[in-house]
Structure 1
């Protein structure tokens, strides 16, 4: 019997990452769990090994730190047992744009965009050579909604969606599956870390429901999975409008409305 691929999950000590770990362990996958909090990772690893009988390896890492990121890249390039990458680690934005410090901006972009991009790049060539593998990038519906007022966070999540769509076009011919998952408000610790009381939000999805829905999309090989979107045709219409817009771009000349009249 073919052995199931090992799943590497970033941000795995709690919330969405820990729930992905539990769900994949139940499916019989060995795991590599990555996060800053080694104590919580070890506790989760011990529980999943005991409950599910899978091998669970723990890697303590802060993905905003170049040395830690480089170590993880090496693991992804060299460990041929890893066949699924869950790019989940991320942080929320606390306060408006003018309240951000240079350090907070740098950390947010490093964790939400640089880390998933570099990790995907580290594993993509190996997946393409083998003709298999999956990359799951956790984005957010905020990346579709500048109206929500989280400009930097939303921009990082818009990047994650674009990256996922681009990687699908480049890698799917080589047999590599890429999925973007776009949650809305989900009950995780990301809110507390950003200084936001999640209980003040009008609607919040439980993390188990979010991950279970994302895995339905994963099993169906959806390219973009939006668990809180109840009318799927809305996404289809958005994609159709985008394609129509691209079809109306003719780059040899400026559009008539921009041309000066004599």
Structure 2
């Protein structure tokens, strides 16, 4: 019998990350749990070890800090047991773009984009050499919707979607599976941390339902998994329209409508 590989999960102390940890523990995978809150990580690790008999390593890290990020990158590069990376760590920001400070914008990009891209870059070469493995990136439907007025957050999630699609093109022929998961509103602590009052928001998805749906897509080896999207044909139509648009690009000359100032 093949021994299950280990799974490294960022943002693992609560919410989506903690639920992923529990679900992979059920599947008998050892875990490496990454988050800032060591106390919560230790508590989760002890419970999962006791309930499922798996090994759980705790790796406290603030992924917006260069030194901490380097430690996690080194673990991904050097630990051949890790076969799956779940890039879940992320933050949201309240307020409009002009209300956000430069430091807030920088922090959001550092965690949602820079850390995710660097951790993917750290693990991908080793997975390619092994000819197997998986990278799961948590994006958001907000990355498809500039109308939601979450400009920087949405842009970071659009980056995650694009990166996942690009990595799929590059890595899937080499045996590495890449999945982008696009939740909509989900009941997690991200709202409180961002100072966003959701009391008047429409009903959201419970985190257990989100992760279970995402894992159905994982097991099916979907590239894009959108648990709240009721009709998958809508995503397929959007992606088909994108392909049609690309086929109409002629980089050698401007379109007729731009050849006159009138």
By the TM > 0.5 criterion, same fold?
yes
2:1 corresponds to 1:7: no
Match of 1:209 in 2: 209
Contact residue 76 and residue 123 of structure 1 kept, 8 A: yes
The count of aligned residue pairs is 262
2:160 aligns to what? 160
Query: 1:35 & 1:198 partners in 2: Cα distance?
Result: 24
Which stretches of structure 1, 4 residues or longer, exceed 3 Å deviation after superposition?
Answer: none
Indicate yes or no: 2:88 matched with 1:88.
yes
Match of 2:220 in 1: 220
- Alpha-carbon distance in 2 for matches of 1:261, 1:155: 32
Please give the TM-score of this superposition, normalised by the length of structure 1.
Answer: 0.99
1:112 matched to which residue of 2?
112
SS of equivalent residue, structure 1 residue 199: coil
- Cα pair 1:187 1:198 within 8 Å, conserved: no
Aligned to 1:149: 149
What's the RMSD between the two structures over aligned residues? 0.9
Corresponding position of 1:36: 36
Q: CA deviation at 1:200?
A: 2.1
- Give the Cα–Cα distance (whole angstroms) in 2 for the partners of residues 44 and 215 of structure 1: 20
Q: What is the CA–CA distance in structure 2 between the aligned matches of 1:231 and 1:261, rounded to whole Å?
A: 42
1:33–1:59 Cα contact (<8 Å) kept: yes
Quote the offset at 1:219 in angstroms.
Answer: 0.1
The alpha-carbon deviation at position 9 of structure 1 amounts to 0.1
Whole-angstrom distance in 1 between the partners of 2:74 and 2:14:
24
Q: CA deviation at 1:130?
A: 0.4
Structure 1: gaps (5+ residues): none
**Structure 1 residue aligned with 2:196:** 196
Cα drift, residue 69 of structure 1? 0.3
Q: Secondary structure at the match of 1:200?
A: coil
C-alpha distance in 1 between matches for 2:95 and 2:46: 37
* Unpaired segments ≥5 residues, structure 2: none
1:259 aligns with 2:259: yes
Q: Distance in 2 between matches of 1:198 and 1:181?
A: 22
How big is the shift at 1:193? 0.5
1:25-104 mapped onto 2 (5 Å cutoff): 25-104=25-104
Q: Give SS of 1:109's match.
A: helix
Q: State the Cα distance separating 1:261 from its structure 2 match.
A: 6.6
Q: CA deviation at 1:94?
A: 1.1
Distance, in Å, in 2 between the alignment partners of 1:42 and 1:112 is 24
TM-score under structure 2 length normalisation = 0.99
Cα distance in structure 1, aligned partners of 2:213 and 2:84: 18
State the distance in 1 between where 2:77 and 2:122 align: 6
Shift of 1:233: 0.1
Tell me how far 1:260 sits from its aligned partner: 2.3
CA distance in 1, matches of 2:28, 2:206: 24
Q: How does 1:9-24 map to 2 (within 5 A)?
A: 9-24=9-24
